[in-house]
């Protein structure tokens, strides 16, 4: 499999949100993220940067209600773009894990790009929100991303006193694990079944 042309372009429009994602898994760091939720923009930008992607993600959501629909649909749309860019998932490494520290916080992410969506995210967050992002929506972001990207994803924050640090370490660990798992390693689908 060639590592060129691994791109995804997905739009999603509901009565609650309108989103568009342009993704290149083999990017050079061109990132533009605008969701209306500043801390979410910061985290998705960190995800794209450390995963090695080019990413444009724009979202307009019903933030007058709360941030839930915007966070969820941003993750669902991004995950769908990842799945589209992967195609039959041939040639990728598939399994990976990564640790990322941020000062006192330490996060671990383990991923299997299996086509079987599952997410366990134990972040131990204590605050109600960081900026305009509700902390309860952070594990939901990872779960929604895993759902449409077809990932088995385990994210654990192992230590940390500051929820900003805990969240950012988690996003960076996921990014590093995805960068490795989605990397091109050869030909063929990485499964004894012959299909993912």
> Is residue 187's pLDDT more than 90?
no
Sign of CA dihedral 58, 73, 173, 195: negative
CA-based max dimension of the chain: 49
> Is residue 2's pLDDT more than 70?
no
What is the pLDDT, as a whole number, of residue 4?
56
7-181 has CATH 3.30.230.40 classification: yes
Poorest-pLDDT segment among 22-26, 146-150, 186-190: 186-190
Angle between helix 38-51 and helix 68-86 axes, rounded to 10 deg? 20
Given a contact cutoff of 8 angstroms between Cβ atoms, the answer to whether 147 and 116 are in contact is: no
Domain ranges of the chain: 7-181
Band of residue 190 on the pLDDT scale cut at 50, 70, 90: confident
- Which residues partner with 21 through β-bridges? 10, 57
- Percent of the chain residues topping a pLDDT of 90: 91
Average pLDDT of the residues of the chain:
95
Which pair of tokens denotes residue 177? Answer: 């694990």
What is the pLDDT, as a whole number, of residue 188?
80
What is the pLDDT, as a whole number, of residue 1?
37
Residues 97-155: tens digit of each pLDDT: 999 999 999 999 999 999 999 999 999 999 999 999 999 999 999 999 999 999 999 99
Nearest Cα residue to 77 out of 164, 9, 28, 137: 9
**CA 76 to centroid of chain Cα atoms:** 9
Poorest-pLDDT segment among 1-5, 83-87, 190-194: 1-5
Strands 118-122 and 152-159: parallel
What mean pLDDT comes out for the span 50-68?
Answer: 98
Rounded to whole angstroms, how far apart are CA atoms 126 and 142? 18
């Amino acid at each position: 499999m060639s590592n060129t042309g691994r791109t995804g372009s997905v739009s999603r429009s509901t009565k609650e949100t309108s989103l568009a994602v342009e993704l290149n898994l083999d990017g050079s760091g061109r990132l533009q993220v605008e969701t209306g939720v500043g801390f979410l923009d910061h985290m998705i930008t960190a995800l794209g940067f450390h995963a090695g992607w080019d990413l444009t993600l724009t979202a307009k959501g019903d933030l007058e209600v709360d941030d839930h629909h915007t966070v969820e649909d941003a993750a669902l749309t991004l995950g769908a773009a990842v799945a589209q860019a992967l195609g039959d998932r041939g040639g990728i490494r598939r399994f990976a894990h990564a640790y990322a520290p941020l000062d006192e916080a330490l996060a671990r992410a383990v991923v299997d790009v299996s086509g079987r969506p599952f997410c366990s995210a134990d972040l131990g967050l204590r605050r109600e929100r960081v900026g305009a992002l509700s902390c309860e929506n952070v594990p939901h972001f990872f779960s929604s991303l895993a759902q449409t990207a077809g990932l088995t994803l385990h994210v654990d924050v192992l230590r940390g006193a500051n929820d900003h640090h805990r969240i950012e370490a988690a996003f960076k660990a996921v990014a590093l694990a995805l960068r490795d798992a989605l990397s091109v390693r050869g030909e063929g689908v990485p499964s004894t079944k012959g299909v993912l």
